[in-house]
Amino acid sequence: MDNVLNCKEVNSYLIKKLTKRCSNLEEEGITPTAAFVRIGSKRDDIAYQNSIMRTCNTVGVSAVLHELEDDATMDDLTKLIKKLNHDDSIHGIMIFRPLPEGLDEAEVNSIINPDKDIEGMNPVNLAKVFAGNYSGFAPCTAAAVMEILKYYKIDLEGKHAVILGRSMVVGKPLSMMMLKENETVTLCHSKSENIEEVARMGDLLVAAIGKPKAIGADYVKPGAIVIDVGINVDKDGNIVGDVDFEAAAQKASLITPVPGGVGSVTTAILIKNIIKAAQRLQL
């Protein structure tokens, strides 16, 4: 299909730029370094960890892995984060999520030093995003969506975006980022009424609800741009998005695939934030 947005191309473009930036920092004696914290040994976490660390190695970012046992307590995790906060050799901190039951994600977000919060989930960084201030870090997936639209020179001004999903990881921060670009934004959620009708109003439709292939062609305005943020495993074990790709692609002018879509750019944004953190902390 010629209406599929090639997100791998966006990722390659960003990685090339980030490799150059990293090389320039190395010449100044700075090696961007991130600490990755994994609790337990979930297969998905390990796969994601390996993928990120390979990308770090490609770009020239140093990655330090910290592993905690499955039964790690909130006190264990807090002590590690505070240690990393005070370690001048560490520029960025990432925690693999979701956290095991019994660990308070909101508290974890608050404990991480905002200057090392490369995931953009500390309340200080979120407040900056909501204020239209990008001096901190925006949540990586939301930033990845904006990076894809920017790469393909998609003008948002005056257009109507409908975002399905109100999480702090995607929906809420993305709505603020789009408002900053003078787009009209409607944010829908599980309690929204007439959601299909509302979705069809969007010149741009973003699906971020975490349900495999839940968004069909009936949600798509003819000619709309469809951004699928979801990454799910269907009953056959296949990786699929929140959007029924084959059906939606028949109506969309442009659409992102899954896999190989927004997720491929999200990792590049995380690396970008590590390098940004290193630059800021060395000033």
Whole-number pLDDT of residue 241: 97
Whole-number pLDDT of residue 282: 63
H or E element that contains 149: helix 140-151
Cβ proximity of 45 and 94 under 8 Å: no
| Parallel, antiparallel or unpaired: strands 92-95 and 239-240 | unpaired
Query: Which segments of 152-222 does DSSP mark as H helices, in order?
Result: 171-180, 195-199
Whole-number pLDDT of residue 40: 95
Task: Report in angstroms the alpha-carbon separations of 144 from 56, 161, 206, 228.
Answer: 17, 16, 12, 12
- CA distance linking residue 213 with residue 192, whole number of Å: 19
The H helix count followed by the E strand count for the chain is 10, 10
Whole-number pLDDT of residue 75: 97
Task: Report in angstroms the alpha-carbon separations of 77 from 21, 100, 110.
Answer: 32, 11, 13
pTM for the structure as a whole: 0.96
| Residue appearing with tokens 């997936």 | 141
Whole-number pLDDT of residue 156: 92
Whole-number pLDDT of residue 1: 72
Q: What is the mean pLDDT of each run of 10 residues along the chain (283 residues)?
A: 94 98 95 97 92 96 97 97 97 96 95 98 98 96 98 96 97 98 96 97 97 97 98 91 97 97 96 95 63
Q: How many CB atoms lie within 10 A of CB 279?
A: 16
For 140-263, which CATH class? alpha beta
Burial class (CB in 10 A: 0-12, 13-18, 19+), 142: buried
Task: Report in angstroms the alpha-carbon separations of 157 from 129, 149, 261.
Answer: 18, 12, 23
Domain residue spans in the chain?
Answer: 29-113, 140-263
Whole-number pLDDT of residue 280: 85
Q: What angle do CA 159, 133, 85 make, to 5 degrees?
A: 135
- CA distance linking residue 38 with residue 35, whole number of Å: 10
Both tokens of 102, joined, read 């019994």
**Helix crossing, 262-281 with 7-27: angle to 10°?**
20
- Domain 29-113 maps to which CATH number in 3.20.20.140, 1.10.10.350, 1.25.40.80, 3.40.50.10860? 3.40.50.10860
